[in-house]
């Protein structure tokens, strides 16, 4: 593990290093440079120092005292004036993991006008909700949000930190893990917590050909991001529990140089992640026009339609209707796959569906390993027959 060292006997306090650091990670105190948590060990200061008083050292990582780190922290994301549903899913998973090691689950809220959401979170079993509520946080600035969550992590010392794999979360989580010089596993599909408090972070790897188990054994906290619709949200309790703690804004927020020039809201868009019924077309479709029968079946079932990655790569569909690691994760009540082979990068993002019906000519297709109902046959015979029966039933 690399680190930056400053040789005081050579340092003249010229401040060139502080001015050259792209991350603002060097503070000048009493005429001497000091590193703060924003250091990324990039080495720019090493090259900039005229006195050669800064070195980049490779050091062996020593094991952390795990007993000083406890509990599970969930970053509860508020965006667009609402609590993102993935936050509740992470709380549900946190509560499940916490039982194994007698941990508590805490949440942290960052933003402006987010205190009301803290009261709502108290109905989901968290022991504490830390709130950073200030006009300075009225829009997302990665460094400002990271400074707040970093401040609470230093105070609470959680063993595990869970963040939603949203656009905001994917920007925030790497900054946090870097500040604590620890690992981050992105887009986890499963999480397990061992008795020694090591978090087993499971996700597809090598193009989805294997399921990798990743463990952070020497450092804390353990950071992981999880996609929306992968975990189960807990039931809402009628009675609120846990404490709401208002936290002071860290000084680092005021030092953030980014500012908001203008905001252009993106019009609300229907997502396949929210669909209760999905019909999915795969590589078994012979031509783009055949997507029409997939859409028709979905319409008759009162649901939505999607495809796999090969059809997106052919230009038949867009990424927002793709299921898979490079698309969306879904968890509908019913999903019907048509001509989908069932590669792991696809099944990992839909195998939590309540009912899975798979249609494929290959009886050994991997999709049948996760399907509740397997139909071995030609989709060009089966799908039109389903459409015909549904139309007759309606008539």
Indicate which CATH number applies to the domain containing 329: 3.40.50.1220
**Closest C-alpha to 34, from 21, 50, 22:** 21
Provide the mean pLDDT of the chain: 94
End-to-end alpha carbon distance in the chain: 69
Q: Based on the structure, what is the number of domains in the chain?
A: 3
Query: Residue 301: phi, psi to the nearest 5?
Result: -90, 0
6: confidence class by pLDDT, cuts 50, 70, 90: very high
Determine the Cα–Cα distance for residues 100 and 130; give it in Å rounded to an integer.
Answer: 24
Determine the Cα–Cα distance for residues 204 and 282; give it in Å rounded to an integer.
Answer: 20
- Shared domain check, 177 and 278: no
Determine the Cα–Cα distance for residues 275 and 304; give it in Å rounded to an integer.
Answer: 6
Residue 265 belongs to a domain = no
Q: What was the pLDDT predicted at 211?
A: 87
- Shared domain check, 217 and 130: yes
| Residues of the chain above pLDDT 70, percent | 98
- CA–CA distance from 86 to each of 76, 154, 310, 355 (Å)? 8, 24, 28, 22
- Shared domain check, 228 and 147: yes
Q: What was the pLDDT predicted at 384?
A: 97
Q: What was the pLDDT predicted at 59?
A: 64
Given 254, 280, 306, which residue is the final one in a domain? 254
Determine the Cα–Cα distance for residues 134 and 248; give it in Å rounded to an integer.
Answer: 9
Flag whether pLDDT at 206 surpasses 80. Answer: no
pLDDT tens per residue, range 141-181: 999 999 999 999 999 999 999 999 999 999 999 999 999 99
Strand positions, DSSP E, 145-281:
160-164, 184-188, 190-193, 199-205, 210-215, 222-226, 243-246, 277-281
62: confidence class by pLDDT, cuts 50, 70, 90: low
Q: Range with the lowest mean pLDDT among 28-42, 256-270, 279-293, 338-352?
A: 256-270
State the average pLDDT over residues 58-83: 88
- Shared domain check, 240 and 332: no
Strand positions, DSSP E, 261-339:
277-281, 304-307, 334-338
- Shared domain check, 195 and 142: yes
Q: What was the pLDDT predicted at 355?
A: 98
Domain with 114 in it: what CATH number?
Answer: 3.40.50.620
Report field, pTM of the whole predicted structure over 0.85: no
**Closest C-alpha to 281, from 366, 188, 380, 197:** 380
- Shared domain check, 229 and 117: yes
Determine the Cα–Cα distance for residues 239 and 71; give it in Å rounded to an integer.
Answer: 22
Domain with 26 in it: what CATH number?
Answer: 3.30.70.20
Flag whether pLDDT at 60 surpasses 90. Answer: no
332-336: long-range contacts at Cβ-Cβ below 8 A with a sequence spacing of 24 or more?
332/275, 332/276, 332/277, 332/278, 332/303, 333/276, 333/277, 334/276, 334/277, 334/278, 334/301, 334/303, 335/277, 335/278, 335/279, 335/280, 336/278, 336/279, 336/280, 336/297, 336/301
> Residues 249, 305: contact at Cβ < 8 Å?
no
Residue 261 belongs to a domain = no
Flag whether pLDDT at 187 surpasses 80. Answer: yes
63: confidence class by pLDDT, cuts 50, 70, 90: confident
> Residues 97, 73: contact at Cβ < 8 Å?
no
State the average pLDDT over residues 78-95: 95
pLDDT tens per residue, range 266-307: 887 889 999 999 999 999 999 999 999 999 999 999 999 999
What is the Cα 112 distance to its own chain's centre?
22
Residue 263 belongs to a domain = no
Q: What was the pLDDT predicted at 268?
A: 78
Residue 262 belongs to a domain = no
Residue 194 belongs to a domain = yes
State the average pLDDT over residues 311-325: 95
Residue 266 belongs to a domain = no
Residue 320 belongs to a domain = yes
Query: Residue 359: phi, psi to the nearest 5?
Result: -120, 120
Return the biggest CA–CA distance within the chain.
89
Given 199, 227, 254, which residue is the final one in a domain? 254
Helix axis angle, 379-394 to 291-300, nearest 10°: 30
**Owning domain of residue 151:** 66-254
Q: What share of the chain is helix, strand, coil (3-state, %, to 5)?
A: 30, 25, 45
Flag whether pLDDT at 338 surpasses 90. Answer: yes
Determine the Cα–Cα distance for residues 359 and 16; give it in Å rounded to an integer.
Answer: 65
Flag whether pLDDT at 1 surpasses 80. Answer: no
- Shared domain check, 93 and 225: yes
- Shared domain check, 365 and 228: no
| Residues of the chain above pLDDT 90, percent | 86
- Shared domain check, 335 and 247: no
- Shared domain check, 235 and 87: yes
pLDDT tens per residue, range 350-389: 999 999 999 999 999 999 999 999 999 999 999 999 999 9
Determine the Cα–Cα distance for residues 52 and 40; give it in Å rounded to an integer.
Answer: 19
Given 13, 35, 58, which residue is the final one in a domain? 58
- Shared domain check, 135 and 204: yes
Q: What was the pLDDT predicted at 10?
A: 94
116: confidence class by pLDDT, cuts 50, 70, 90: very high
- Shared domain check, 101 and 25: no
Residue 264 belongs to a domain = no
């Amino acid at each position: 593990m690399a680190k930056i060292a400053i040789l005081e006997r050579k340092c003249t306090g010229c401040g060139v290093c502080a001015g050259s650091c792209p991350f603002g990670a060097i503070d000048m105190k009493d005429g001497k440079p000091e590193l703060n948590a924003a250091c990324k060990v990039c080495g720019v200061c090493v090259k900039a120092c005229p006195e050669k008083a800064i070195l980049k050292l490779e050091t062996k990582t020593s094991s952390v005292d795990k007993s000083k780190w406890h509990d599970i922290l969930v970053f509860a994301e508020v965006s667009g004036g609402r609590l993102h549903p993935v936050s509740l899913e992470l709380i549900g998973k946190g509560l499940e993991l916490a039982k194994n090691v007698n941990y508590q689950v805490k949440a942290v809220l960052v933003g402006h006008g987010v205190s009301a959401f803290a009261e709502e979170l108290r109905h989901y079993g968290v022991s504490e909700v830390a709130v950073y509520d200030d006009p300075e946080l009225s829009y997302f600035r990665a460094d400002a949000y990271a400074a707040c969550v970093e401040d609470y992590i230093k105070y609470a010392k959680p063993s595990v930190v869970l963040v939603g794999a949203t656009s905001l979360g994917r920007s925030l989580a790497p900054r946090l893990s870097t500040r604590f010089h620890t690992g981050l596993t992105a887009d986890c599909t499963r999480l397990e917590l061992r008795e020694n408090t090591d978090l087993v972070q499971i996700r597809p790897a090598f193009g989805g050909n294997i399921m990798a188990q990743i463990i952070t054994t020497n450092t804390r906290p353990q950071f992981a991001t999880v996609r929306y619709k992968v975990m189960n949200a807990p039931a809402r309790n009628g009675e609120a529990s846990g404490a709401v703690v208002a936290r002071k804004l860290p000084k680092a927020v005021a030092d953030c140089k980014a500012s908001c020039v203008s905001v252009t809201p993106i019009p609300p868009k229907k997502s396949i992640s929210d669909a209760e019924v999905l019909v999915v077309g795969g590589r078994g479709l012979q031509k783009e026009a055949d997507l029409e029968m997939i859409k028709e079946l979905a319409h008759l079932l009162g649901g939505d339609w999607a495809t796999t990655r090969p059809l997106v790569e052919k230009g038949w569909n867009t990424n927002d209707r793709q299921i898979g690691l490079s698309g969306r994760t879904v968890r509908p009540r019913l999903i019907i796959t048509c001509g989908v082979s069932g590669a792991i990068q696809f099944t990992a993002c839909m195998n939590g569906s309540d009912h899975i019906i798979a249609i494929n000519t290959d009886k050994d297709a991997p999709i049948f390993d996760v399907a509740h109902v397997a139909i071995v046959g030609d989709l060009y015979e089966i799908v039109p027959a389903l459409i015909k029966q549904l139309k007759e039933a309606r008539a």
